């Protein structure tokens, strides 16, 4: 059964830093990988979707990469801002979606 | 606007009083699913549906029922709620095949006293 792990569980950085969030998965036979953002008590907002045939996907200050063979994806956030503070989750679809536990990011002004 | 709509958004109820959380999507998606999110446990899938009249259990189906009579709707039914079902619930949808983007509803916070 697919298992998804996110490291670190929590991260605190000063404003302006570039940072990397990690996601690993055990079964490389995936269709795609999706990154979400969740604010406390709120719903999940889709950030990026990387298809299995793609290596990376970019949206503004966010860049997600995918290495199927090694079972890894990274989410790179450039020039972090306090408004980026949230929990970031990665998910791998199958009939049952598998989610990582998330990385709680705090960006300090 | 493409969206997944859940109702109610907030609900406080008592043990044993049947309730239904509705979920509707306007994107003509075949796949719909329900999750619960609890502190320290992350998102766990309750049930999913690949299409109309096709449903299957996720990781934590006990105490829940679902039905998929129409493509756009996928209600979650708690026949006899218990306090351990107090949680934040999310509905989501996407196209089948696994390659589609997953869209989430805004969540329903349920408290069972």
Each residue's pLDDT, cut to its tens digit, for chain B (113 residues) gives 889 999 999 999 999 999 999 999 999 999 999 999 998 888 999 999 999 999 999 999 999 999 999 999 999 999 999 999 999 999 999 887 666 888 999 999 999 99
**Of A61, A62, A1, A75, which Cα lies nearest the Cα of A33?**
A75
pLDDT of residue B1: 84
Search chain B and give the residue with CA nearest A53: B99
Q: Find the residue in B nearest to A90 (Cα).
A: B43
Of A51, A93, A101, which has the smallest distance from its Cβ to B102's Cβ?
A93
Of B45, B58, B99, the CB nearest to A31: B99
User: Chain A residue with minimal CA distance to B5?
Assistant: A43
Q: Are A74 and A20 in contact (CB under 8 A)?
A: yes
**Which chain A residues contact residue B100 at CB under 8 A?**
93
CA-based nearest distance A17→chain B, Å: 27
In Å, what is the CA distance from A98 to each residue of A32, A83, A90, B43, B81?
A: 12, 27, 8, 8, 26
Phi-psi region of A2 (alpha: psi -120 to 50; beta: other; left: phi over 0): beta
Compute the distance between CA of residue A52 and CA of residue A45 in angstroms, rounded to an integer: 21
* Per-residue pLDDT band at A95 (split at 50, 70, 90): low
Q: At which residue do the structure tokens 């709620």 appear?
A: B81
Straight-line distance from the first to the last Cα atom of chain A, in angstroms, rounded to the nearest whole number: 41
Residue B101 is predicted with a pLDDT of: 87
* CB contact A101 to B (< 8 Å): yes
Task: Check residue B98 and give its pLDDT.
Answer: 62
């Amino acid at each position: 059964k697919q298992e998804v792990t996110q490291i670190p569980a929590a991260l605190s950085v000063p404003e302006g830093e570039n940072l990397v969030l990690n996601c690993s998965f055990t079964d490389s036979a995936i269709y795609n990988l999706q990154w979400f953002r969740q604010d406390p008590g709120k719903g999940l907002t889709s950030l990026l979707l990387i298809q299995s045939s793609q290596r990376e996907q970019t949206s503004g200050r966010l860049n997600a990469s995918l290495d199927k063979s090694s079972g890894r994806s990274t989410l790179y956030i450039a020039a972090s801002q306090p408004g980026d503070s949230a929990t970031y989750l990665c998910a791998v679809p199958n009939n049952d979606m598998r989610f990582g536990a998330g990385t709680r990011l705090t960006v300090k002004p | 606007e493409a969206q997944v709509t859940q109702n109610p958004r907030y609900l406080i109820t008592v043990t044993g009083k049947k309730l239904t959380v509705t979920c509707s999507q306007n994107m003509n998606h075949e796949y719909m699913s329900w999750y619960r999110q609890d502190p320290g446990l992350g998102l766990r899938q309750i049930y999913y549906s690949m299409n109309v009249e096709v449903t299957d259990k996720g990781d934590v189906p006990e105490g829940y029922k679902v039905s998929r009579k129409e493509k756009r709707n996928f209600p979650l039914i708690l026949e006899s709620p218990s306090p351990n079902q107090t949680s934040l619930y999310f509905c989501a949808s996407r196209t089948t095949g696994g390659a589609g983007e997953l869209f989430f509803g805004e969540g329903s916070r349920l408290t069972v006293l």
